[in-house]
A and B are shown apart, each in its own frame.
Chain A
Amino acid sequence: MADPILKVEDLTKSFGGVVATDQFFFDIHQGEIHAIIGPNGAGKTTLLAQVSGMLKPDSGRILFDGQDITGLSAAERSHLGLARSFQITSVFRHFSALQNVALAIQAHQGHSFRFWKPAAKDSSLTEPAMEILSDLGLADRANILADNLSHGEKRQLEVAMALATDPKLLLLDEPTAGMGAEDSARIREFLGGLKGRHSMLLIEHDMDTVFSLADRVTVLVYGRGIATGTPEEVRGNAEVRAAYLGEDDAAHA
C-alpha cells in the first residue's frame, strides 16, 4: 500500500505546564478526508501548527508523503504540497480578495525576485486567482479589500488561499467557524467536491460537516487521540460520548 500522505509519530508539545499535544500518533491516507474533533483547548490548532511547520514540536516526527519534514520550515512544507487555512482568519487585510489569492499563487510560480512587471496586470496570476474565487462564489467580490468582506466571505477567502497553492494535503482549521448555516452548507458542499483531488485534515466543531464529509474521524482530548474510526464507529464509542459528544450536544443544543 502507498505511504500515507501524512504520518505523525509520537508528537509532543507543551506550553509550560499545559501538554497541548501528548504522544500523539496519527495518519491520513492518500485522498482521505480525516476529521479531528475535540473540545475547546484539546490541542487541535496546536497539532495543525506543528504539521504546517509554524510551531516546533518538543519531540516526535512528522512524515509527509514518506519524507521526514519535522525540521522543515513552513515555506518549505508549502512547496512540498501542504497548505493550511486558519481558524482565526489570517488574510492580507489591505489587499483585495483577488490579490490575496494571487499572492498565494505567486508563491508557487518560482521565485519572486521580479522587480519590474506589475503583479496586478499579470494574467498568469490574476486568471487562476479569479478561477478559484469563482469556485468559492467570491467572483463578484474579487476587487473588494479583504478587510471589507463579510465574516463568511473572509472564511471563504481563507480556504481559497490555501487551495491556491494546489496542495496535496489541505489542513483546514474550522473552515466554517462562525459562519451562518447557509454559508457553512456551501463550504461543506465545496469541500465535498474537492474529495479525491486533495487529501484533507479537517478540524471542525460542526458535526453535520464532520459526519457528511469525513472518511475517518479522530477524537482529540487533552492532546491525546482517544479514538479513531469511521464516523459511525466514533459516534458509537462510549468513551467519546462521555468525553466529547455529550458535551458538544449540550453546547450546540
Chain B
Amino acid sequence: MELTRLKSWLLAIGFVVLVAVPPLVTALDETFYITLISRVMIFAIAALSLDIILGFGGMISFGHAAYLGLGSYAVGILAFHEITNGWLQLFVAIGGSAVVAFIIGAICLRTSGIYFIMITLAMTQLLFFIGISLETYGGDDGLPTDRSEFAAFIDLGNEWILFYLILGFLVLCMYISWRLINSRFGMVIRGCHENEARMQAIGFPTYRYKLLAFVISGSMCGIAGFLLANLTEFVTPEFMHWFRSGEIMIMVLVGGMGTLFGPVVGAFAFLLFEEIISGFTENWPVIFGPLLVLLVLFAKQGVWGLLPKSKAGDG
C-alpha cells in the first residue's frame, strides 16, 4: 500500500488539528470536547484494529467489542485490587486480549462465512454474560475505577495529558498497522483474503497466519479498552455488548474497509455525527441508517476510498 500525496497531507493536517484541540477548546471554554475527541480516538484505535482482520484479512469478526471490554476490565479489576500501575495494567490488557483472541480465533478460524460471524458473536456474548455475572466487580452495574498511574510526569488525572496519551497511542497503532500491512506478514494476510486456496497451493499454511492476525488485532483493541476505562473511569459489561461490536464495524464500513486509515476517519465521522444529530433528535439512527446504506451502495470503500488512489490501486 502506498499513500497518495493528498492522503498523506490529510493525515498530517488531521494530526496537527488534533494536537491543537486541547488548547483550542480550553480557550473557547468548551473543554467537553477534550473528552469527546478522546473517546473518538479510542474508537478509532478499535476500528483500526478491526480493519486489520476485517478489511485486510477478510475475517468478518462480529465480536470485536470483546477486547474493548477485556482491556477495560484489566484496568478495573487490577485497580479494584489496588494494582494501579499503568504499565502493568496495559500489559495485562494487551496480554489478556491476546490470550482470549487466540482462543476465540483458534475456534472460529476453523469455520468460515456466516458460521465465523455467528461464532465470533456468540463468543463475545459469552464474555458479556461473564461480565454481568462478576458480582465482585459490579456485575451489570459496572465498576467505577481510578485512572492508571504512570511515572509522575504522566498524570492521567489531567485531561490534557490523557488526551495526548490517547493521541500518542492512536498514532503508534496507525504506524504499527502500516508497517504490518506492508510487511511479508501483511502480504500473507491480504493474500488469504484475496484467495486462500491459492495461498495454500503456493505453499502457505494459512491458518497460523490468520490466527496471529486475529491475535494482533484483538491485542490492539485491548489497548483501546485500556484507554476507554481510563477515560470513563468506569468499566461495564456494556463495553462488550454486541451492539458495540456493530458500531465498531460500522465505523470501519463508513471509513472504508481495507483502507487502514479510513476506519480512523470512520470513527470520527460516526461518533461526531452521532453527537451532532442526537442533539436534534433521539431517533438519530433513523437518519444514520439510510445514510449508511447509501454509503455502502455508492462508496464501497467508504469515505476514505472516495479519495483518489495511488497508481498501484490501493492506499
Contacts and interface: CB of A to CB of B under 8 A. Distances in A.
Contacts of A114: 183-185
16 contacts: A53-B200, A54-B197, A74-B200, A74-B201, A75-B204, A78-B200, A92-B191, A94-B313, A95-B190, A107-B202, A115-B179, A115-B183, A116-B183, A117-B183, A122-B184, A164-B202
Contacts of A79: 203
- What DSSP secondary structure best describes chain B's contact surface? helix
Contact of A75 (B190, B191, B200, B313): B200
Given A78-B201, A143-B312, A119 B187 contact: yes
Contacts of B18: none
Contact of B203 (A54, A86, A108, A122): A108
**Category for how many chain A residues contact B:** 35 or more
A194 to B, nearest CB: 18
Interface stretch (A96-104, A203-211, A214-222, A224-232): A96-104
Interface residues of B, number: 29
B275 interface: no
Contacts of B199: 103, 107
A9 B209 CA distance: 34
Contact of A112 (B194, B197, B209, B312): B209
Contacts of B184: 106, 112, 114-115, 117, 119, 122
A120 B191 CA distance: 14
Given A73-B200, A99-B187, A112-B185, 11 more contacts: A52-B201, A78-B203, A83-B202, A84-B201, A91-B198, A93-B194, A103-B187, A119-B183, A119-B186, A122-B184, A145-B313
Nearest to B205: A75
B72 to A, nearest CB: 26
Interface of B: 179-180, 182-188, 190-191, 194-195, 197-206, 209, 212, 311-314
A196 to B, nearest CB: 23
**Which 7 residue pairs of A and B lie closest in terms of their CB atoms, listed nearest first?**
A78-B203, A107-B203, A74-B200, A114-B184, A92-B194, A104-B202, A118-B182
A161 interface: yes
Contacts of B180: 115
Contacts of B314: 94
A166 to B, nearest CB: 11
A15 interface: no
Given A54-B201, A78-B201, A112-B204, A91 B183 contact: no
